Amino acid sequence: MAKTNIDIKNITKENLKILIDKKSIENRVASIANQINEIYVEKNPIILCVLNGAFIFYADLVRHLNIDFEVDFIKLSSYGSSMESSGTIRMIKDVSANIAGRDVIIVEDIIDTGLTINYLRKRMIDGQSKSVSFVTCLLKDRKKYHFDFKIDCIGFKIPDKFVIGYGLDLDQRFRGLKNIYTIK
């Protein structure tokens, strides 16, 4: 993740620059939902939202689906109030459903180092899910990731910069912004 000398508490909307606008996000979400609609007919998947960051992408995505599905939520944390991953994943709330024998779609807002999805995949294997697939709104362009499996669906590939808005926060701020922004 890019380092900055800015004090994060002093960042305001004036410091933000649009990276992906609302309309582009809406179009991409609809197209991802169409893919899920085709692949998961009659599979009744559990669609798992990774809290907190994915909640807006998730809510937009599931409202485009016309298949049967169940919702569930898992809460993990790797960043705390910092702009860089701590390198350690903390489970704050585990999945509630019994995932054994079920097709699970994991919905993430962003994959950065990949530590979180690696942790999630292990959790799904331990829980004996029938299948697990990953849908992420954003994938950061990095030389190296902490996972070695395929990401099934990527909304946008973005440069290795800190991004906020559309669910993504800076020390818990800015999650409600409709566009995705970088910091100027």
Which residues contact ligand PRP by CB under 6 A? Answer: 50, 52-53, 77-79, 85, 108-116, 169
In the bound state with ligand PRP, the residue whose beta carbon lies nearer, of 48 and 110, is 110
C-alpha 37/C-alpha 33 separation (Å) is 6
Q: Which residues contact 119 (CB under 8 A, 6 or more apart)?
A: 76, 89
Phi, psi of 57 (to 5 degrees): -55, -45
In the bound state with ligand PRP, the residue whose beta carbon lies nearer, of 78 and 131, is 78
Q: How far is the CB of 50 from ligand PRP (least distance, A)?
A: 5
Which of the residues 72, 94, 112, 169 is marked catalytic? 112
Q: How far is the CB of 44 from ligand PRP (least distance, A)?
A: 25
Kindly list the distances between the CA atom of residue 82 and the CA atoms of 77, 79, 91, 171, in Å, as whole numbers in the listed order: 11, 6, 18, 7
Phi, psi of 106 (to 5 degrees): -100, 125
In the bound state with ligand PRP, the residue whose beta carbon lies nearer, of 114 and 155, is 114
Assess whether 112 carries a catalytic annotation.
Answer: yes
- Tell me if 126 sits within 8 A of 98, measured CB to CB: no
Q: How far is the CB of 80 from ligand PRP (least distance, A)?
A: 7
Catalytic residue numbers? 112
